[in-house]
Amino acid sequence: MARVLMTGFAPFGGESVNPSWQAVSLLAARRDDVAAVELPCEFAASLPALRRALVEHRPSLVVCAGQAGGRSEVTPERVAINLIDARIPDNAGARPVDAPVVPDGPAAYFTTLPVKACVAAIRAAGVPASVSHTAGTYVCNQVFYGLMHLLVTEFPGVRGGFVHVPFSPEQVAAAGKPEASLSVDRIADALEAVADTALRVTEDLAVSAGAEH
């Protein structure tokens, strides 16, 4: 069984690729201790698919990744909120507004990844990174919140969290826009740094990663 479960998403929003899945699958090809699972970018299907992956692989660590177009860095997420408010439809055409991820669930969950140590490790690997305090309100946040809820309620002792990644250069070239991007190889390097750090670090760095707004 794989020690680390990593997930990425199928392409969405008219894109032909999703760098989160490309990087996760690349990393799994590098390492025998990583299992890669592609999640559908669909509100109704994403969490059942994630739960099946947890049952199948029984990992000790889970790192879910998703695309965050417009961001220039790899950004481990600190907190997931119990809210879905979709700006665009998902791949099944659903567009829920002001819905909870888990009815009557807690308002939020914090990651159990050492996000500040992970950022330091990503930067040491030569990849730009910072801690993020919002995972949005789309399927990425739903999966992040749903993951943490599953770990609390069904898979105690397993640590996990979520990482957002920028567009890949091929996406930027296809769109013809001057967006920030990172190669899939470098994103995979960053995710590997996250996994290695989370496997060995249990107490996060006592450094500021606060935001001004």
Catalytic, 38? Answer: no
Q: Which of 77, 118, 149, 192 is catalytic?
A: 77
Q: Which of 38, 140, 149, 192 is catalytic?
A: 140
Q: How do beta strands 79-81 and 108-110 pair? A: antiparallel
Catalytic, 57? Answer: no
Catalytic, 149? Answer: no
CA-nearest of 38, 12, 33 to 192 is 33
What is the Cα Rg of the chain in Å? Answer: 16
Number of neighbours of residue 179 by Cβ within 10 angstroms? 16
CA angle 204, 210, 211 (to 5 degrees): 150
Q: Please, are residues 165 and 63 in contact by the beta-carbon 8 Å criterion?
A: no
DSSP string, 140-187: HHHHHHHHHHHHHHTSTT-EEEEEEEPBPHHHHHHHT----B--HHHH
* Catalytic annotation, residues: 77, 140, 164
